[in-house]
Amino acid sequence: MEQIERIAQLYPVIMRVMGRIRSVVHEGMDLTYNQYKMLLTIYDKGNCPLNLLARELQIAMSSASEMVDRLVNLGFVYRMVDEENRRQVVIYTTERGEELIRELRRGIVENYRLLLARLSEHDRERLVQAFETLAEVLGKLE
């Protein structure tokens, strides 16, 4: 089988299992995976105008704005007009949002632990290696 065809063939297989992992690991969370990613991005940036947030998450600014609405309604982030450039709106995590991040992080790592306990130590090590390689190689495509 040719290299490229093999990759085209394996892509959906991997996406399937990755999706499965997501649903197991994030199960019972108060946020969807996308909301979690957004909250985390806002937290990590510390000072995140909406346009940067949208670029970071690779979605249209209108989508980002909608998602921020939901996070605001949930009480995990708030908007502030940037006084340096009043066109910009900067998003910040609230105290509750940061608490949630800490809590979810613990839960997620714990769920990974439980899930991956079903693999041998050898397989877990291969998994980490494969993840590292993917992140490195695919990162070059960005």
Residues within the interface to DNA (CB under 7 A): 32-35, 49-51, 57-63, 65-70, 79, 85-90
- Which tokens is 51 given? 């346009």
Footprint of a second copy (CB under 8 A): 3-8, 10-23, 25, 37, 40, 58, 105, 108-109, 112-113, 115-116, 118-119, 123-135, 137-142
CB atoms within 10 A of CB 36: 18
DSSP for 73-121, please give it: HHTSEEEEE-TTSTT-EEEEE-HHHHHHHHHHHHHHHHHHHHHHTTS-H
With CB under 5 to 8 Å by kind, the binding choice for 80 among a second copy, DNA, none is none
Report in angstroms how near the CB of residue 121 gets to a second copy at its nearest. 9
Judged by CB, which is closer to a second copy: 50, or 57?
A: 57
Local structure of residue 43 (DSSP, 8 states):
H
With CB under 5 to 8 Å by kind, the binding choice for 47 among a second copy, DNA, none is none
Report in angstroms how near the CB of residue 141 gets to a second copy at its nearest. 6
Strand pairing partners for 88? Answer: none
Report in angstroms how near the CB of residue 81 gets to a second copy at its nearest. 29
C-alpha distances in Å from residue 65, one per residue of 33, 90, 106: 17, 11, 28
Judged by CB, which is closer to DNA: 14, or 61?
A: 61
